[in-house]
A and B are shown apart, each in its own frame.
Chain A
Amino acid sequence: MDGQMTSINVLDLPAAIAAALAKGKLSRAMRHIMPSFSLDTVEDLLLYTPPGSLDDVHSARFKRHQPAKGASSTNYDRLMGLTADQVALAYDQAAAYVFENRIAYGTALDLLQEEQWLSLGDPILDNALGGGGLSTHAITEIAGESAVGKTQLCLQLCLTVQLPHHMGGLDGSAVWLSTEGKFPYSRLESMISHFVSKHKEALPDLNADEIRDNIYFDSMADQETQLHIFNYQLPILIHDSHVQAQEGSDDDASQDGQSDSGDRNTGEDTSTTRSRKKPVKLIIIDSIANNFRSELHFSTPSTTDPSSGRRQGENQGFRSSILQRSAELCEIGLRLRTLADQYALTVVCVNQVTDVFEGEETTLPGAETSWNGSRTNARLLSRPLGDSMKLKKPALGLVWENTINARVVLQRTRVPEHQDPEAYSSSAGVEPQRTLSVVFSPWAANERGRGQGSGQCRYRIDASGVVGAEMPQ
């Protein structure tokens, strides 16, 4: 459930109420059913004692502890020896505590000053995304077929995130979590060298070692590893990097003070301090669907979800594994979003695409078939560009779609010879046409066909990375 648990000791409750909540005056029979009952955390109070009239307190049942039939009429006040008013007092204090200590509250103007944007490293691409690039505090999905340039774009983000704020970066480092094997080191090397030479004038200090030091990589071979990384390792890494960066900047300040007084360090020392670790500002997950898709059929039903899997049968097992997948997807999504908000991160999830089948046979829930693609539905990659008449849609379905904040789709099409020989022979050549489109995003107005900021642009991939090009009119 909720990760964070705070004891009710933080509340300013009368001692008698606090004691009653923490212990629970259970009769012997009740103790037999729920040996460890207590409402001794702020979270439990808020979840299990909804406010309201006496009636509501009486109807509150213990769902968490799954009491046996005989206990179903138990209610809090009788169980705890507290009156409804006393329970309500505790509830209100818990709400006030959570509000004051955990919830960020301000005006939209404050928020405006905090908002930061991560440039894609190219003005045309940024413009297609609404001007600034990707928003922090949010999850952006980049979906597309294989070899369309998803990884290239992500590598580019790993570089631009290290730029200072005035150049569109976040002055931070990147974490690359891969479910698809190796990190593309060689490609990164060539992009780094182009990146360094491109920014030589503005940033003479930029060096390849520092850039490499600020990209963390880990692979998530299976779902279990993935959950472990998301639940434990990633939050710790991010937290530590932010703390270190804070301390580092303090150290820098004090060292500057010292060097002013005349005692200069040797050359070696300065070179080690120069390669400083920046706080994590970008998380890239390449790709989110991989583990979920490969392990779908193998997950056993009844281990984590006791309510399912009772009824036997293939369908039931599949269905419960779908249930489990949904729950895990939601949990990962929520965790990433919370991290993104806490540390002002940009989270980028690479997603695969699946074919959209024609026809309407009802299939098992969760199968990746979907509605007829011939519909001009903005959620599909439906606009058939060139020869790509096979319709695609991003994987993982509606649950995941509800979890992300924005979706960007990359598409590649070859211009078929017979249809457009001129384009084929002249400017386009054999180079495929590539299009970036914003399917949805809360920050980019989608005004297709209205010129600037249209949520769509062409792009090409060269040695330096992904380069935008205007949409042909």
Chain B
Amino acid sequence: MSAPRPATTLRLSSGLRDKVLRSGYGTVADLRAVPTNDLVSELKLSSDQARELLHQLHPTSASWECFTATQTLELEQRSTPITTSSPALDSLFGGGLGVPPGKITEICGLPGTGKTQLGIQLCVNAQMPTAMGGAGGTSIYVDTEGSFIAKRALQFATACFEKLSTANNNQEIRAALDSKDLMQGIQYCRVHSPVELIAMVRMLDGIVRSHPKTKLIVVDSIAFLFRSNLSDINMRTKLVATLGRQLSDLARTYNVAVVVINQMTTKVDVPKASGLGQSQDMHPTSLIQPALGETWGNMCTHRIRLYNHGDGQRTARLFKSPTIQEQTVAFQILSTGISDAEDMDRPPYDDAELEFDPEESLLLWGAIDDDALYMVT
């Protein structure tokens, strides 16, 4: 048995907390030992406060779902990741098979780096039949930007279908797959405001429950709506945290993969004026980084940033992962979809180069932009 839990660690509203602390009960165990009625009269609790305190002292066993590591491992092994169609990209996720279910994966990057295209490709791939090692499910695409182009999805679906039917002679699989079916397996919705996004994410629970085959939810993008409408940074943080928690609940409860696309923003650091003797060379610096800050970043299991180096050379850089270290891989986007870069022997930019590439550091540090909405100070 570890040290007794102090009563200060209970998550109580401040009025109630004062009452509890002033009462002299030092530990949670002390509080639990007192009969509830006595506690209420002794601390002069209102009925709401009594309920709140009880809830904290005696969490009901029903709300406490506990898994062992073995169970979690088994669940992870049973569930099928969703391939990105590029083995190199897939290798960025722990198992090497693609975007893992049950977790939030963030894809960020500057405009034109292929974020939406990757989202569309994943929606198509989520429907690969189980006989082919796919997830055999459906997907939901929540579009805040209007960048989901059905024509593009059809191109990807057609290419995917052709690849499957040439690679496989199994008639059943052929019959089961049709590019039209693939299109019907993507549920699409367009939202225009933070309020709509909040409502949509709230409704996803019911939608996933009524479509039990759902394997993938893509939100493209989480940042866009929060840029213009909410100037209050506290409120934005709170809403994003709520969305993130709901999405991760969805991912865990229904074991679906959640892919969230994020925009990049410029963080501007203005050196704090340190009273007197402020030196003249204290210029503000800026850094291009994913939007929405740390609160959001902590909610993602994997974070991947896409780069477009021009001339069809694209790379993806893993910069947060629970299992493997940071690394960069090359991929390409054709009209048929995403695939490995043709010249895989020589990835255009490897890790070391990226880290010390003077141009890259220029891109990061020298790029001055004007998005101060995301300024984190």
Q: Which A residues form the contact surface with B (CB < 8 A)?
A: 1-2, 4, 42-43, 46-47, 50-52, 54-55, 58, 63-64, 73, 75, 77-78, 83, 91-92, 94-99, 102-112, 114-115, 132, 135, 137-138, 305, 307, 311, 315, 319, 322-323, 325-327, 330-331, 333-334, 337-338, 340-341, 360, 362-367, 369-372, 374-379, 382, 396-399, 401-405, 407, 439-440, 442-443, 445-450, 453
Contact = CB atoms under 8 A, between A and B. Distances in A.
B149 A46 contact: no
Interface string B233-253: 011001100100110000000
A315 B270 contact: yes
A105 B363 contact: no
Given A98-B199, A103-B199, A105-B188, A448 B286 contact: no
30 contacts: A2-B229, A46-B198, A63-B235, A83-B48, A102-B192, A105-B188, A105-B189, A107-B186, A107-B187, A108-B123, A108-B186, A319-B372, A330-B227, A334-B192, A340-B146, A362-B285, A365-B266, A365-B368, A365-B372, A370-B366, A370-B367, A371-B362, A372-B359, A376-B311, A378-B112, A378-B310, A398-B371, A401-B111, A402-B264, A440-B112
Contact of A112 (B13, B151, B309): B151
Interface string B206-248: 0000000000000000011101111110110011001001100
A377 B200 contact: no
Interface of B: 11, 13-15, 48, 52, 55, 110-112, 116-117, 123, 141, 145-155, 180, 183-196, 198-200, 202-203, 223-225, 227-232, 234-235, 238-239, 242, 245-246, 263-266, 268, 270, 273, 283-286, 288, 308-312, 333-335, 359, 362-363, 365-373, 375
Contact of A379 (B150, B228, B308, B370): B308
A395 to B, nearest CB: 10
Given A341-B190, A365-B268, A323 B14 contact: no
A337 B224 CA distance: 11
Given A109-B180, A376-B309, A362 B371 contact: no
Given A42-B195, A58-B13, A326-B371, 15 more contacts: A4-B193, A46-B195, A73-B13, A99-B203, A103-B190, A315-B270, A315-B284, A360-B362, A362-B365, A378-B311, A404-B111, A442-B147, A443-B149, A448-B312, A449-B311
Q: Which 10 pairs from chain A and chain B are nearest by CB?
A: A440-B112, A330-B228, A98-B199, A366-B370, A112-B150, A108-B186, A95-B202, A445-B335, A378-B310, A50-B242
Contacts of A50: 238-239, 242
Contacts of B359: 371-372, 374-375
A319 B270 contact: yes
Contacts of B372: 319, 322-323, 326, 365-366
Contact of B199 (A77, A95, A367, A372): A95
Contact of A407 (B52, B112, B183, B231): B112
B298 to A, nearest CB: 17
Contacts of B366: 360, 362, 370-372
A402 B227 contact: yes
A363 B368 contact: yes
A375 B362 contact: yes
Chain B CB count within 10 A is highest, among A46, A341, A405, A449, for A46
A288 to B, nearest CB: 14
A62 B84 CA distance: 43
A450 B332 CA distance: 13
A109 B183 contact: yes
Nearest to A77: B48
